[in-house]
Amino acid sequence: MSQITAGLVRDLRERTGAGMMDCKKALSEVGGDIEKATVFLREKGLAAAAKRAGRSAAEGQVASYIHAGGKIGVLVEVNCETDFVARTDDFTDLVKELAMQVAAANPRYLKREEVPAEVVEQERGIFKTQAAESGKPEQVLDKIVNGKIEKFYSEICLLEQPYIKDPDKKVGDLVTDAISKMGENLVVRRFARFQLGDESGEA
């Protein structure tokens, strides 16, 4: 078992944002392996985030982001539990990152539950037709269609989209990580995206 030094604890804390004691405990649990300790803390954080999800979030920020020389503008509302957290740099950075994501990736909905059923069924019908014409065996067609529906969600729903700065991570994971780090329930409430010349106004 590797010796758990103060430097190792500090490195893990900088990497994860977790508290000193949590980092020390995580390293003890995994024999001093910083990679395994990172995973351990992430899993613990996800569990904690799930518990916090039911708590009221009525504070927060509305932030704006202007992109492409004034041609794209975004408003995002993110809520948290306390005014204290709403004023922190970490929270401000999260809201800013979400606004930049909306500007760059142009989501149409916040989450998959908001996508109208008729929109999903229309896409499913198109995907079924494409799959049938591909000549693939009948038994794999549903799997192909379901895979395309998942990709569809990842393109149009903000929380399902790959995070622009780390495509291996979903935007929803970015929020979950922030919940773990800040210790409060955080809710992305709504967003609006305005593009010059787009008469619909809102994405």
CATH number reported for the structural domain that contains residue 42 in this entry: 1.10.8.10
Query: Hey, CA dihedral for 195, 202, 97, 149, is it positive or negative?
Result: negative
Model pLDDT, residue 152: 95
CATH number reported for the structural domain that contains residue 86 in this entry: 3.30.479.20
CATH number reported for the structural domain that contains residue 122 in this entry: 1.10.286
Model pLDDT, residue 49: 61
116-141 pLDDT tens trace: 999 999 999 999 888 888 777 777 88
Q: Report how far Cα 122 is from the mean position of its chain's Cα atoms.
A: 26
Domain-embedded: residue 125? yes
Average pLDDT estimate for 60-66: 94
Model pLDDT, residue 203: 41
Structure confidence at residue 53 as a pLDDT band (50, 70, 90): low
Is residue 166 located within the same domain as residue 107?
yes
Is residue 173 located within the same domain as residue 150?
no
The amino acid sitting at 79 is N
Model pLDDT, residue 198: 78
Is residue 131 located within the same domain as residue 33?
no
Query: Hey, CA dihedral for 150, 155, 160, 163, is it positive or negative?
Result: positive
192: Cα within 13 Å, side-chain hemisphere: 9
Is residue 100 located within the same domain as residue 163?
yes
Q: Residues near 83 by Cβ (< 8 Å), separated by ≥ 6?
A: 59
Q: What is the mean pLDDT of the chain?
A: 87
Is residue 101 located within the same domain as residue 170?
yes
Domain-embedded: residue 1? no
Is residue 179 located within the same domain as residue 85?
yes
- Most confident of the following: 7-16, 178-187, 188-197: 188-197
C-alpha to C-alpha distance for 41 and 26, rounded to whole angstroms: 7
Instruction: Report whether pLDDT(52) > 70.
Output: no
Count, residues in the chain: 203
Model pLDDT, residue 202: 45
Average pLDDT estimate for 7-34: 82
Model pLDDT, residue 201: 44
Model pLDDT, residue 55: 66
Average pLDDT estimate for 178-186: 89
Instruction: Report whether pLDDT(170) > 90.
Output: yes
Is residue 29 located within the same domain as residue 129?
no
Is residue 151 located within the same domain as residue 164?
no
Q: Residues near 148 by Cβ (< 8 Å), separated by ≥ 6?
A: 123, 127, 130, 131
Is residue 142 located within the same domain as residue 74?
no
The domain boundary, picked from 52, 72, 90, lies at 52
Instruction: Report whether pLDDT(80) > 80.
Output: yes
Instruction: Report whether pLDDT(38) > 50.
Output: yes
Q: Residues near 117 by Cβ (< 8 Å), separated by ≥ 6?
A: none
The token pair at 60 is 């927060």
**Please, are residues 100 and 107 in contact by the beta-carbon 8 Å criterion?**
no
Is residue 66 located within the same domain as residue 137?
no
Structural domain boundaries, residue 149? 116-155
Give kind and range of the element (H or E) at residue 77. Answer: strand 72-80
Is residue 38 located within the same domain as residue 95?
no
Average pLDDT estimate for 155-171: 95
Is residue 43 located within the same domain as residue 137?
no
Average pLDDT estimate for 62-84: 92
